[in-house]
Amino acid sequence: MAVMTYAEAIRLAIREEMTKDPTLFMLGEDIGIRGGAFAVTTGLYKDFPNRIIDTPISENAIPAIAYGAAITGVKAIAEFMYADFSLLGIDHVINSAAKYRFMYGAQGTVPVVFRLPGGGGRQNGAQHSQCLEAMFSNIPGLKVVMPATPADAKGLLKAAINDYNPIAFIEHKAMYFDKGEVPEDPDYIVPIGKGVIRRAGTDITIVATAMNVTKSLKAAETLEQMGISAEVIDMRTIVPYDKELIFDSVKKTGRILVTHEAPTMYGIGGEIVAAVAKECFSYLDAPPQRVGSKFLPMPYNKTLETHVLPQIEDIVEAAKSAVEY
């Protein structure tokens, strides 16, 4: 194990996979000498000069080239500088990459990863702070991954690169410099579709994604002081998600709270709550709860941004109300 940042773990995954597979390449804006907007790819161009490709400012071309290359049999990583910018090239992700295997009877493969730095908390404003996982999750044919720790950032990215389906790999920008222990084993993989219990509990299940996993763990500490035992599940993968892990936890605790940074309205929390209501209704002791952002564009002002984003206190209050129901 080595201690490294979330960004360093992603860089290590790319380095290891490029070393293993000479066909793997990556393209995006300023990912060469500059190392990307968040320094994630720093230094990689020196070791892989012909496979770390700086592109013009053309978010429409980046996913198109990556997808086109992937269907010929090579592996590709396409980096959008911000997840928000993917909307300029979304046609190639949704109407091309996501549909290909279905349209051709699974005779071909699409080993392409779309890296999407998303999330707020950095005062990046309305067009640089969105969480778009619900949009990508509504597209059949796409897998959607959201790592919440440096170890998972490495393991899930390696799994994504070696998958043969197109993957939206969403990285939270505010977590890039968070540190944690990361396995140095070049064969380390975190399987797609498997969540993990980050904290065991008996009174309520808190299902969280990305930055909200960290917030939920801190909320669980506060809840413990109130005599409430919270079980915290890190989804890790949004599509497909680990239904059985969530259902088993809810059957034990009798309560569920789903929290994500994207707006609560129309968010993935609604899908999870609906599944729990259908499969675990007789086990529920309180109405399911959801905690997400307010349904507003992200403000630039720090105070207003904090107001829009879900906070630890919001998770605590929602969990407390469910337990006291």
- The whole-number pLDDT of residue 135 equals 97
Determine the average pLDDT of the residues in 299-325: 97
d(CA 155, CA 149): 10
Instruction: Please name the residues in contact with 84: beta carbons below 8 A apart, sequence gap of 6 or more.
Output: 118, 127, 128, 129, 130, 132
Percent of the chain residues topping a pLDDT of 70: 100
To the question of pTM greater than 0.75 for the whole model, the response is: yes
For 67, 111, 142, 167, 219, the CA distances from 102, given in Å and listed in that order, are 15, 14, 11, 15, 42
Q: How far apart are CA 52 and CA 260, in angstroms?
A: 32
- State the Cα–Cα distance between residues 111 and 127, nearest whole angstrom: 28
Q: Of all residues in the chain, what percent are helix, strand and coil, respectively (each to 5)?
A: 40, 20, 40
At residue 80 the predicted structure's pLDDT band, cuts being 50, 70 and 90, is: very high
Helices (runs of H) and strands (runs of E) counted in the chain: 12, 14
Name the band, by pLDDT with cuts 50, 70 and 90, for residue 2: very high
Residues 6+ apart with CB under 8 A from 74: 23, 24, 25, 111
Average pLDDT over residues 54-66: 96
pLDDT class for 13, splitting at 50, 70, 90? very high
For the chain, the average pLDDT equals: 97
Q: Could you tell me the pLDDT band of residue 257, with boundaries at 50, 70 and 90?
A: very high
How far is Cα 263 from Cα 284, in angstroms, rounded to an integer? Answer: 24
Reported as a single tens digit per residue, the pLDDT across 213-227 is 999 999 999 999 999
pLDDT at residue number 285? 97
Per-residue pLDDT, averaged over 113-130, amounts to 96
The domains of the chain, with CATH numbers, are: 2-182 (3.40.50.970), 196-323 (3.40.50.920)
In the chain, the percentage of residues whose pLDDT exceeds 90 is 100
Q: Which residues are catalytic?
A: 128
Could you give phi then psi for residue 88, rounded to 5 degrees? -70, -25
CB atoms within 10 A of CB 299: 18
pLDDT of residue 210: 97
Give the relative orientation of helices 243-253 and 268-279 as an angle to the nearest 10 degrees.
Answer: 60
The amino acid present at 95, given as its one-letter code, is: N
pLDDT in tens, 128-157: 999 999 999 999 999 999 999 999 999 999
- pLDDT at res. 247: 98
- Inter-residue contact 210 to 261 (CB < 8 Å): yes
pLDDT 10s digits, 169-227: 999 999 999 999 999 999 999 999 999 999 999 999 999 999 999 999 999 999 999 99
**pLDDT, position 158:** 98
Q: What is the pLDDT of residue 284?
A: 98
Confidence of residue 25 (pLDDT cuts 50, 70, 90): very high
- Tokens of residue 30, six digits: 């300023």
- For residues 241-260, give the mean pLDDT: 98
Give the model's pLDDT for residue 265.
97
